[in-house]
């Protein structure tokens, strides 16, 4: 079985104690699970990843278009209310 992640979630067969090796191939089960783990690792990325599509890169890298929890000043909208007037907010 080919994995579907990250496009869609996978739905693996969980073998039971009464399943025969014909019903659920032992080697196929490991192959599918290993492929899924590799896909997750690729999506998440390693620490300090330079892969621009990895979650680690998107969250940590200031060069990312959407750097997760880091918000550059250009992305912050400030609309003063009342008698407040300011062009520079620190």
Domain that holds residue 38: 1-44
Q: Are residues 37 and 52 in the same domain?
A: no
Domain count, the chain: 2
pTM (whole model) above 0.75: no
Nearest to 1 by CA among 39, 20, 28, 40: 28
More confident residue, 55 or 85: 55
Return d(Cα 40, Cα 7) in angstroms, integer: 12
76 phi-psi bin (left φ>0, alpha ψ -120 to 50, beta other): beta
* Per-residue model confidence as pLDDT tens digits over 9-59: 888 877 777 877 676 777 888 888 888 999 999 999 999 888 888 888 888
Return d(Cα 6, Cα 70) in angstroms, integer: 25
Q: Are residues 32 and 69 in the same domain?
A: no
Q: Are residues 38 and 58 in the same domain?
A: no
Q: Are residues 3 and 39 in the same domain?
A: yes
- 4, 10 contact by CB (below 8 A): yes
Q: Are residues 71 and 84 in the same domain?
A: yes
Nearest to 10 by CA among 41, 38, 32: 32
In a 13 Å sphere around the CA of 16, the CA atoms on its Cβ side amount to 2
């Amino acid at each position: 079985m080919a994995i579907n992640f990250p496009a869609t979630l996978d739905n693996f067969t969980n073998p039971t104690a009464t399943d025969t090796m014909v019903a659920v191939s032992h080697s196929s089960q490991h192959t599918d699970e290993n492929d899924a783990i590799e896909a997750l690792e690729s999506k998440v990325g390693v620490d300090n990843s330079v892969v621009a599509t990895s979650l680690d890169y998107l969250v940590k890298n200031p060069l990312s278009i959407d750097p997760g929890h880091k918000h550059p000043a250009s992305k912050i909208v400030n609309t003063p209310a009342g008698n407040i007037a300011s062009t520079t907010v620190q």
